[in-house]
Amino acid sequence: MISAMTLHHLSPEEAARYLVEIDGAARRGWVVNDLVRGRIAHGLVWLLTRLLTRSAMARHDGPLSILRSYTPPEVTALCEKAGLFDVRIVHHLSLIRQCAVRAKR
């Protein structure tokens, strides 16, 4: 099961429930792909939305989404709050994306 760009729209309580629901629905495992909060990510998204679009909504929503997103340690804490202790948080070279990954056995 794959979830993309949803987690940052949820409060911590809603996000933990969301992870429980995904885990219950997934047979083999899941990947939750979302934004990662950080100064570099915020600055990069702010700059890109100014350079690449004239849309006032994109210029507002892009940086706001970064500010509302979770850091990798916060995603780990959300997973643990959901009772999921074997989730890997993958944060590669991308400065604005992270994935929580769980393989079920």
Domain limits for position 78: 2-103
Instruction: For 37-101, give the secondary structure using H, E and C.
Output: CCHHHHHHHHHHHHHHCCCHHHHHHHHHHHHHCECHHHHHHHHHHCCCCCCEEECCCCCCEEEEE
Report which of 33, 2, 53 is spatially closest to residue 98, judged by C-alpha positions: 33
Domain count, the chain: 1
For residue range 12-70, what is the model confidence (pLDDT) as tens digits? 999 999 999 999 999 999 999 999 999 999 999 999 999 999 999 999 999 999 999 99
In the prediction, which pLDDT does 91 show?
87
Residue 90 phi, psi dihedral angles, 5° rounding: -110, 120
Check which CATH number belongs to the domain holding 69 and give it: 3.40.50.150
pLDDT at 73 over 90: yes
